Amino acid sequence: MGYEGKVPVNNDILTHHPDGQGEVMAHAVDACVHCGFCLPACPTYALLGDEMDSPRGRIVLMKEVLEGALPLYDAAPHLDRCLGCQACVTACPSGVPYGELITSFRGWSEPQRQRSPLDRAKRAAILKILPAPRVFSLAARVGQFAKPLAPLLPNALRSPLDLLPEHVPAMQPSAAFTPARGQRRGRVAFLVGCAQQALTPNFNAATLRVLARNGIEVVIPEGQGCCGAAALHTGARDEALKLVRANLAAFNPDDFDAILSNAAGCGAGLKEYPAILHGLPDEAQARAFAAKVQDISEYLGGLLEDGELEPVLPASRPLTVAYHDACHLAHAQGVRSAPRALLRAIPGVTVLEVPEGDLCCGSAGTYNLEQPELATQLGIRKAKNILSTQPDLIASGNIGCHTQIQSHARRQGSPVPVMHTIEVLDLAYRGEL
């Protein structure tokens, strides 16, 4: 946000919203030159083919609403369909921080929305259950038994059940401290995430093993919680602020070389803290915090680049791995080459590129719960594209993509294993790949 002191030119948003969030939105709108380069990058434009469901169209709609020229209810259906995947940010030559814009806009607009009681209850339930791994685990295990009933249920209840794996594992809480193996070369803090603790506990276990193997000691600071991204991206700003501040209190960036996340959505959320707190007293603290945040693949990729990554054992046979770019890793954090380089560092592994690789899988946080129809179309398309490469293995770096891809690949009859990049690396270190 290098715009302090600059006055926006193409909009009047600051007049109507003279605060930190107004500033974030005004400057994002100002940066848009409406060239349309974002259109072919946008999943909803690809599906719907109309301007309102494109990033450029949405920027115009948000501007009109913020300036009071368009009622919120008129623009809302189109803004709600935005996945927040930020593929448009990658495609944008003029540097529009679209992610910050839509996040801030949702935070501002949500309290004014008139939603049905059922809708309200559903959203509240999502935001209660998702950040609480124990509750989530319980819900998931109950849901597991309800799965056969899914076809009989209304859409709102069916979509979360469809995404549940056949087997929900038991929770495995991670140790608060994992010592380095061998010579200690670094010290990091780790954000354990929410849904993945319940659904895929091996993501965290593998992360800790690989870091320790590389001489990195890992601290899981007490008092940490949900990163707040789910709340923030659905407009529950007050809820999000509580979570953000709890994490700022739990993690002292000066104590660590890096603050790591192994969920692309969470890592991107942590990196958003300065924008969320823009204009508030703890903005500087958020900046210091965000400067230390890295995705696990970004951090290990750094070690690899410096020639400091512990050598990995070769795969037992030549293995093709289709790597899926999580939007919140590739588009929101710009991390593309590191995970590929890590996979390629395993002798015997060939990384396959997925057609339409920049297009979101439809998971997008809570999107597959809120917009199941579009999410399903994108999920089917993603699974088809991935499977077209005929991989031995599918790797990605985000729990949301993981469940979405797994669920759609299975429905298309494919048994190909779906893993987190770190799990592939972990298996290779153990000689089990």
Helix (H, G, I), strand (E, B) or coil at 319: strand
Q: Given the complex with another protein, which of 52 and 288 has the nearer CB atom?
A: 52
For another protein, the binding residue among 61, 88, 244, 322 (CB under 8 A) is: 61
Residues 6+ apart with CB under 8 A from 184: 215, 216, 217
Stretch that binds another protein, among 72-80, 172-180, 220-228, 229-237 (CB under 8 A): 72-80
Alpha carbon distance 278, 289 (integer Å): 14
CB 265, CB 400: distance < 8 Å:
yes
Helix (H, G, I), strand (E, B) or coil at 310: coil
CB atoms within 10 A of CB 214: 20
For another protein, the binding residue among 22, 55, 57, 339 (CB under 8 A) is: 57
Does residue number 46 form part of the binding site for another protein (CB under 8 A)?
yes
For another protein, the binding residue among 1, 12, 16, 40 (CB under 8 A) is: 40
Does residue number 358 form part of the binding site for another protein (CB under 8 A)?
yes
Does residue number 77 form part of the binding site for another protein (CB under 8 A)?
yes
Question: In what side-by-side order are the strands of the sheet with 186-191?
Answer: 177-178, 216-219, 186-191, 258-261, 293-295
CB of 66 to another protein, least distance (A): 13
Q: Given the complex with another protein, which of 76 and 246 has the nearer CB atom?
A: 76
Alpha carbon distance 397, 325 (integer Å): 8
Alpha carbon distance 178, 167 (integer Å): 28
CB of 195 to another protein, least distance (A): 27
Stretch that binds another protein, among 172-180, 222-230, 291-299, 355-363 (CB under 8 A): 355-363
Does residue number 123 form part of the binding site for another protein (CB under 8 A)?
no
Alpha carbon distance 189, 19 (integer Å): 33
For another protein, the binding residue among 95, 173, 311, 347 (CB under 8 A) is: 95
Interface contacts to another protein, rule CB under 8 A: 7-10, 30-37, 39-41, 45-52, 57, 60-61, 64, 70-71, 73-78, 81, 92-95, 355-356, 358-359, 373-374
